[in-house]
Amino acid sequence: MNQPLKAKLVAMLEVVYPALDCDFLAEQLLQTMGLAPNQAPPPAHQNNWDESDILLITYADTVQKADQKPLVTLRQFLNDCLADTVSAVHILPFFPYSSDDGFSVMDYLAVNESHGDWEDIEAISEDYKLMADLVVNHMSARSRWFENFRKRVDPGKDYFFEGNPRDDLSAVVRPRTSPLLNPVQTDDGERYVWCTFSEDQVDLNFANPKVLIEFAGIIRHYLERGVILFRLDAVAFLWKEPGTPCIHLQETHELIKIMRLLIEHHSPDAVVITETNVPNRENLTYFGNANEAHVIYNFSLPPLLINTLVTGDCKHLKTWLMSMPPAQMGTTYLNFIASHDGIGMRPTDGLLTEEEKQRLINTLDSFGGKVSYRRTADGRDQPYEVNIALYDALKGTAETGADHWQLPRFLCAHTVMLALEGIPAFYIHSLLATENDLERVENTGRLRSINRSQWQLDELEQELENPLSHHSKAYHELKRLIAIRRKQPAFHPNATQFTLHLGLQVFGFWRQSMRRDQSIFCIHNISDEVQQIALSDINLIGTDHWLDLISGMTIDDLSGSITLKPYQSVWLSNRE
């Protein structure tokens, strides 16, 4: 009997578990997922996205209303304010949790009662593509599984990765300064558990295939509840092997392929997204050969774009863009400038010098930012991320400090992001131009809280209706830009992209639709001075009629020039 899915799965499993009966393990996984061994594969290199796709990133309880569950309020806000703006919603971990604003999951199969229930999640999934976190690397120290680990009973007895303090762990790549191994008292003595991120986030042991089977069941549950986009959180650290860096190991890549294989055979339109906050070259490996992640976060974009706008120099952004490989069909980038986390500094490794990194950090510090650190193998603490609200990150320049160009600079950043190859993602606080929440940092004691504010719905609606409010100005202009973007075939996430050379104060690139019937020249003044650009430098085709999609300005004389005000952008297109 022909069983192509099972055969493919067995081959992958044998890489991860060479000593096990992988034929039997494959049968268990397929049964857990409700898949037949000969299940038909999805179409190869299929793009499950187009130019109309815009992702919103939000916590379940970012927008609140008295006497109403936050997931109900979120759906109301989405339908009232963003139904014509976003196509997909990433609701950050909405499960019961013990710390880290949701990423210390206590129960993967439950919705946090204070947020709502699965019916509320399903209701949102009916109107929007729903993205959820698959927190695969670690689980809460207060979870039932970990309680069972302490009691030495199943399920959970051997679900967590244990380390030995006598092992040489000097090569392990750390994203934090906290201890890697933590002693835990169990019913059969003291054991040391591996904690990549915090003492409350204990790393799972995927060397035990039961953990993989458990996650197959979790994945199926999410799919059946309307989740179609899977964000694999902190997945680069998944497989541990003392004596190695314990990041990007071959088994990790193979496990991602296995999860993708199961997910896309269950739901051909599902998408796997890897969250790997690492240097650019390492990040790109998660595409595999178009058989691993469908989508990878473009982690180098936020620090490089912010650095460009606060220095008025696009040299490094341009160099990076020229070096980025076009994504194969069936894969693409997720472009973002801000998220619930900080602005990562590791993705600038090899792209900015140490002096340039420090200048960026100092600039953001002067705008109210806070620096989080990681510990290196030689025991030094290095900046890991800068915690700051994006609106305040762009309140001035490195040279002169805060100025009156904050809003135009902020809008310019998003105009760049909207036009780049890939899918644009807006963190809700960027869409709303929320400022640093220093009071929340003081209340929680966590630096990341600076960009995790909560809005009362009535207060938010008042701000968005007030034409003098910077929240309203940013929100309405971003909605306008998004509406324009969603109609342009040249902005398909996989459409052609070439970098333009227009000097250091003007950042430009060319997009061409996949049918080659639309070209858009995306040109951005990234400085606080007026810039003049000769149209002859852009090579507009003389037989076409050109207009700026943003302002409506038409180009009649191709031998002339255009003048860009500080932080002004144009999208010059040969069709409306």
Q: Over the stretch 71-106, which tens digit does the pLDDT of each residue have?
A: 999 999 999 999 999 999 999 999 999 999 999 999
Residue type, 509: F
Helix, strand, coil in percent for the chain, rounding step 5: 35, 20, 45
Average pLDDT score over residue span 392-404? 97
Q: Is the pLDDT of residue 60 over 80?
A: yes
Q: Which residue has the tokens 């399903």?
A: 122
Buried-state track 306-331, b at ≥16 Cβ within 10 A, e below 16? bbbbbbbbbebbbebbeebeebeebb
Nearest one of 92, 88, 77 to 54, comparing CA atoms: 88
Q: Identify which of 132, 139, 159, 134 has the alpha carbon closest to the alpha carbon of residue 148.
A: 159
Which of 208-212, 221-225, 555-559 bottoms out in mean pLDDT, i.e. has the lowest?
555-559
Interior/surface letters 438-464, b for 16+ CB within 10 angstroms, e for the rest: eebbeeeebbbbbbbbebebeebeebb
Q: What percent of the chain has pLDDT over 70?
A: 100
Within 13 Å, how many C-alpha atoms sit on residue 37's CB side? 12
What is the CA 314 to chain-centroid distance, rounded?
23
- What's the whole-number average pLDDT of the chain? 97
The pLDDT score that the predictor gives to residue 193 is 98
- The three-state (H, E, C) secondary structure of 238-283, written as one string: CCCCCCCCCCCCHHHHHHHHHHHHHHHHHCCCCEEEECCCCCHHHH
pLDDT value at residue 541: 82
User: Does residue 158 have a pLDDT over 80?
Assistant: yes
% of the chain surpassing 90 pLDDT: 96
Which of 136, 135, 138, 160 has its CA nearest to residue 148?
160
Return the pLDDT at 380. 87
- Read off the pLDDT of residues 428-450 as tens digits, 9 standing for 90 and up: 999 999 999 999 999 999 999 99
- Whether residue 194 has pLDDT greater than 60: yes
What does the pLDDT look like over 256-306, one tens digit per residue?
999 999 999 999 999 999 999 999 999 999 999 999 999 999 999 999 999
The pLDDT of residue 377 is above 90:
no
Separation CA 429–CA 414 (nearest Å): 13
Q: Is the pLDDT of residue 337 over 60?
A: yes
The residue written with tokens 């790109």 in the block is 284
CA–CA separation, 494 vs 513, rounded Å?
Answer: 9
Phi, psi values for residue 412, rounded to 5°: -60, -45
Compute and round to an integer the Cα radius of gyration of the chain.
24
Catalytic residue of the set 61, 133, 233, 548: 233
User: Residue 240: pLDDT above 70?
Assistant: yes
End-to-end CA distance of the chain: 54
Q: Which residues contact 363 (CB under 8 A, 6 or more apart)?
A: 310, 396, 397, 398
CA-nearest of 171, 168, 174 to 375 is: 174
Non-local CB neighbours of 459 within 8 Å, separated by 6+ positions: none
Q: What is the pLDDT of residue 526?
A: 98
pLDDT of residue 1: 54
At 576 the pLDDT is: 78
pLDDT tens track for 129-151:
999 999 999 999 999 999 999 99
In the residue annotation, 107 being an active-site residue is answered as no
pLDDT exceeds cutoff 60 at 528: yes
Q: Under a CB-based contact definition with an 8 Å cutoff, are residues 421 and 495 in contact?
A: yes
